[in-house]
Amino acid sequence: MARGGPGASPLLLRRGVLVLLLALALWSVTYLNMTYIFTSQRPSRDSQDVKEEILQLSEEYIRQLAKETGGMVDGPYAGRFTAFGE
């Protein structure tokens, strides 16, 4: 007897429907979980805020570099050639 044809057993049809329902439930849970994850993320910051933070951190880095290297000359990036040198 052919599977899934008009003479298919009711047990086989029940299994097929059960597998289909379980797959649909799993897909639904996954979809809702991903939707929740992506909508609950922290809102993206404005690019101007990011630019200002990068500039501030760069300035702090250059100040520290100038303080640590002091009068040491190590190419054009020496601390004494910056505006933050002593």
Q: Is the pTM of this model over 0.75?
A: no
Residue closest to 47 by CA, chosen among 59, 38, 55? 55
d(CA 66, CA 59): 11
Would the pLDDT of 4 be above 70?
A: no
Over the chain, what is the mean pLDDT?
Answer: 78
Type of residue at 43: P
Query: How many CB atoms lie under 10 A from the CB of residue 84?
Result: 14
d(CA 68, CA 70): 6
Q: Terminus-to-terminus CA distance in the chain, angstroms?
A: 93
Would the pLDDT of 8 be above 90?
A: no
Write the DSSP symbol of residue 80: G
Would the pLDDT of 85 be above 90?
A: no
Backbone angles phi, psi at 58, to 5 degrees: -65, -40
The confidence score (pLDDT) of residue 77 equals 61
